[in-house]
A and B are shown apart, each in its own frame.
Chain A
């Protein structure tokens, strides 16, 4: 028995079969989405479905190629691969081809590729590599900062393209870090920050800041259980506020309510800290630190939302949050998407019989909204099966990751899982109207060479690592 057959025997064929089902079913749906009377040939290379076939074949070649290469290659060259993709990301910002207002494409040998699709697996590799380096412990601040650096670097470069949707996917790696020991508090904090993030978009800043101050006061009380300390804090705060209020009223220092509250908070905090140090009151500094960090976060979200996000992205978020009603504009996409999926019913309209996707009612129906075609033509059983299969694949990836002997393979496996999981959540959540419209593809289904090649690489590197897990020394 050669080593080669060994590898094939050890490969996780369940994952490969799900991959094949996804890719081929996706191809059928791209065909259905673009099908019309004039172009009936699924192999027509002038049509998207013909092109997708080429990409599928290329992906298979790539998958074989991944299998041929020695598994140590990926851990050994992780930093180099990461560096190359970063260079490509910089390169693309400078001289990339602009499509839909974003510079995210480079031409390589006549094909247009998106480096952002390949940066996902290299980031996964580099995290795995770094975390398995001696001296690196997730409990160390320095290690965490380096890790966040690795994650943020490609994300920031992608934001600069600008393609915020693709950049958001890099948040997925927080799941990897969580599995590797990042305190659960951080995950909770991330969830809390998400809530704060959404509130900032939905409600006036002053309202959120006052809520935060009140929350801080309540937490402070429960930590110290002394009403006296809280009482003095409130008194100091009120005196400071009245002072600023009077200054404003008599035109000595003009300010808005928001500015007054912030100044009051700064002044009264400073006074209270001195008071607290003298009386040696606990927890004051920590709570105030959190409070100011969160307020800083609110302002930076506000800044990002209004200065960094594209107007159409702002609108999309606003519609999802119910702040804007714009049936023709961006709510239109979501609405059309829901109509297409909803019209499928339980059994669907049948292959090639969809009217909503076929007649272009759904935008981007072969890329980001491919799930609509599935929902319309294959109904609840088809779309539900896709969701179940995705769930199955994700759970299988967790299982595979956990059975690795090498930490590198496990961490990379979690990286693969996290990236696919986030794509799954965001893409399908968007088409069924649960999440904002964020233009990212559904892995293996959506039309597009870069994303298919990228996901194939991402997945098959892990399958290869898994297949050769027994040959890896502990």
Chain B
């Protein structure tokens, strides 16, 4: 027809090309790539999260320890922002325009539809903002609860709550950015019970985030479940008293009810006010505490691995009795110390010879060096190493060397070496009882945590068994606590042998002149105890004391560890006795007030 009519094919080819390209693109968008489907879900569905209030905490007598206070976060949904009066908003929030803009810019994250813009705004700001919020499309208020404390006690025990980290979110899908989670102490241990369950309301929303109605008629909606209240085993009054006594010392008190394993007090000093780690100033305060050289964040009660010192003589005595290496009446001489093959372990001036209870009363080093040798050189065993491992097996049954598995997070294990440890160090058969003699008096490689020492006091009190120490007595709506806390753990020592050792512990406190722990004596109450002085190569020795009382039907067993307190009798024993008296009688008798005053007024923290 005309010379260019063939060009129709070029034009037709263009059409077909475009159709083909668009079909492929459409296939890709709609069928192959699934990312857009997910985005669509998030686009039109708004989840309103209902935050339950966190469970409350009570002490064993029902006193409220931890409760909640309402707080609000100002949330920002950057994709819903509209123009607004920045000056007014800055005034309400008391921020400058620059931080407003950087805050908004920061929120632009395709992964998060909403981000906290300003956390835990003050009640005044909240009141102001609530009325004006309608002007600021894209800003929301989210209600949260903050922890409040009735008394400034138990910071290590109770722990604190903070925002979940990215890592925690990765491990547990329950949590979302900005959620709170227990980070330490009971808050962490009982997180699932305390937090309750978040509720959710699903809405269909339009692009202006206007709610168009419930999503699928509320089929997926869920009410929030309020967190369960927790009754702790702690005696708040005793805890407070103990913290008062310890405030000038670095160390720990752990007191346990022996008949149940319930922890009555758990003190680690230096401590901090639990309110410091709540709300907006938490990060700032946390960093301050973290950098404090006194390590107030370090929970010594369950994490400090100390040499036990002379309190360990009790364990050695029990093992020797069980292995028939000594008896009640076995006597050893002491001439101001123990001497053998060039080794000297010094002792102090006391009567000689002594039997076993008397040796405990005077804490005779020579006696217990002999006891330890008799254990290690027992003819029943082919080698020292074998005897040593047998000894170790006994020792482990007291709860040493491994975590006790209390309900407190971050508990450490302590250390009881194996024979192979010395084989590696000295070579097989190249070591003997004398090589490791320092363990006879609780030194050397032995490391024990304060809670393990308190547990040992329980073993003594119970004449041979313990319950795993724990801090929770009851959880709301639950019949029972974890069954592992209701189970008796027996040591490998026959009950009868404990009477010998307890007689020594009774004498140590109540045996009159020459008794190492006379200062812990309380009239009308028979306290059984044992002092310890843990050698410290880095400074003044540590003061250690374990005790239980009364002797019959004991109500309290405890360990006190005062760093750099020198003798067991100088700080640990008096503090322990005050704790016992306070717990059993409710007050300190006038005759013993001077001890209380001395403990309250002395100060080892500033010495060092």
Contact = CB atoms under 8 A, between A and B. Distances in A.
Given A345-B31, A398-B12, A428 B22 contact: yes
A432 B22 contact: yes
A380 B26 contact: yes
Nearest to A176: B11
Interface stretch (B13-21, B254-262, B305-313, B375-383): B13-21
A398 B15 contact: yes
A346 B31 contact: yes
B26 A343 contact: no
Interface string B26-60: 11011101011101110110000000000000000
Given A179-B7, A383-B26, A356 B43 contact: yes
| A interface secondary structure, majority | helix
Interface residues of B, number: 45
B427 interface: no
Contacts of A343: 36-37, 39-41
Interface stretch (B205-213, B341-349, B521-529): B205-213
Given A342-B40, A380-B26, A402-B8, A327 B110 contact: yes
Contact of A355 (B31, B36, B44, B110): B44
Interface string A346-367: 1000000001100111000000
Given A179-B4, A345-B30, A398-B15, A387 B23 contact: yes
A434 interface: yes
B483 interface: no
Given A328-B81, A402-B5, A361 B15 contact: no
Contacts of A359: 44, 204-207, 212
Contacts of B136: none
A12 interface: no
Contacts of A414: 11
B32 to A, nearest CB: 10
B324 interface: no
A175 interface: yes
Interface string A174-192: 0100111100000000000
A377 to B, nearest CB: 12
Interface string B79-104: 10100000000000000000000000
A380 B40 contact: no
A287 B236 CA distance: 95
B7 A178 contact: yes
B19 A179 contact: no
B391 to A, nearest CB: 69
Nearest to A414: B11
Interface string A393-416: 011001001100001000000100
B61 interface: no
B298 interface: no
B18 A361 contact: no
Contacts of A181: 3-4
Interface stretch (A120-128, A198-206, A332-340): A332-340
Contacts of A387: 19, 22-23, 26
B15 A432 contact: no
B103 to A, nearest CB: 15
B108 A327 contact: yes
Contacts of A390: 19
A341 B12 contact: no
A449 interface: no
Contacts of A398: 8, 11-12, 15
Contacts of B12: 395, 398
Contacts of A361: 43-44, 206-207
A339 B36 contact: yes
Contacts of A339: 36, 39-40, 43
Interface residues of A, number: 50
Nearest to A376: B40
Contact of B25 (A391, A417, A432): A432
Given A181-B4, A402-B5, A384 B207 contact: no
Contacts of B31: 345-346, 380
A338 B206 CA distance: 17
B110 A425 contact: no
Contacts of B23: 384, 387-388
Interface string A443-459: 00000000000000000
Interface in B192-215: 204-208, 212-213
Nearest to B206: A359
A428 B24 CA distance: 13
Chain A CB within 10 Å, residue with most, of B30, B33, B208 = B30
B565 interface: no
A344 interface: yes
Interface in A35-49: 36-37
B442 interface: no
A361 B41 CA distance: 12
A332 B110 CA distance: 11
B43 A432 contact: no
A178 B7 CA distance: 8
B450 interface: no
Nearest to B42: A339
Interface in A262-315: none
A236 B36 CA distance: 57
B45 to A, nearest CB: 8
B464 interface: no
Contacts of A417: 11
A379 interface: yes
Given A359-B44, A391-B19, A402-B8, A380 B27 contact: yes
Contacts of B35: 342
Contacts of A178: 7, 10-11
A352 to B, nearest CB: 14
A379 to B, nearest CB: 6
A97 B15 CA distance: 36
A356 B30 CA distance: 14
Nearest to B7: A179
B78 interface: yes
B481 to A, nearest CB: 48
Contacts of B27: 380, 384
Nearest to B4: A181
A115 interface: no
A434 B43 CA distance: 22
Contacts of B19: 387-388, 390-391
A407 B205 CA distance: 56
A407 B108 CA distance: 58
A400 to B, nearest CB: 11
A429 interface: yes
A325 to B, nearest CB: 9
Contacts of B39: 339, 342-343
A327 B80 CA distance: 11
A396 to B, nearest CB: 10
Contacts of A220: none
Contact of B40 (A356, A379, A425, A429): A356
Nearest to A434: B25
Contacts of B25: 432-434
Contacts of A338: 29, 36
A180 B4 CA distance: 6
B9 to A, nearest CB: 9
Q: Which 10 pairs across A and B sit closest by C-beta, in order of nearness? A: A342-B36, A343-B40, A391-B19, A359-B206, A355-B44, A380-B30, A360-B207, A342-B29, A360-B206, A339-B39
Given A339-B40, A342-B29, 5 more contacts: A178-B11, A346-B30, A360-B207, A432-B29, A433-B29
Interface of A: 36-37, 175, 178-181, 327-328, 332, 336, 338-346, 355-356, 359-361, 375, 379-380, 383-384, 387-388, 390-391, 394-395, 398, 401-402, 407, 414, 417, 421, 424-425, 428-429, 432-434
23 contacts: A178-B7, A178-B11, A179-B7, A327-B110, A332-B79, A338-B36, A339-B43, A342-B36, A342-B37, A356-B43, A359-B205, A361-B206, A361-B207, A380-B26, A380-B27, A388-B19, A391-B18, A391-B19, A395-B16, A398-B11, A407-B2, A425-B18, A432-B29
